[in-house]
Amino acid sequence: MPIIVNLDVMLARRKMSLSELAEQVDITLSNLSILKTGKAKAIRFSTLEKICEVLDCQPADILEYGK
């Protein structure tokens, strides 16, 4: 899929673990893993909003379009 998820990069920058993020965003760790590994088929605006809020970033910092 040409959409690349840079969640691991943002987590490393914020020095935050995946489980911490899952807890703060209030979604399951397995769902967050699906997003992180690029297996997700869709992301809800509400989830994206919460992730951006917790990581203090823009959606473009998490999602990238690559050819």
Partner 1 sequence: MKPSFIFSFLRVATGFLFYSLIVITVAVIVTSALKFSGNSIGMAKSVFSYEVMGFGTNNGTPEIHYSADKLVQYTSIPNRYHLEVEPASVLGYYSFFSTVVNLLLGIVILWLFKRIFSEANLAEPFKPSIFKRLKILALLFAVSDVFKFAHYLIFSRLLHRSISIPEFQYITEIGNGIITGLIIYAIAVIYQRGLSIQEENALTV
Chain residues binding partner 1 by CB under 8 A are 27, 31-32, 34-35, 39-44, 47
Least separation in angstroms between residue 35's CB and partner 1 is 5
Query: Nearest to residue 36, comparing CAs of 4, 5, 2, 1?
Result: 5
Least separation in angstroms between residue 43's CB and partner 1 is 6
Least separation in angstroms between residue 28's CB and partner 1 is 9
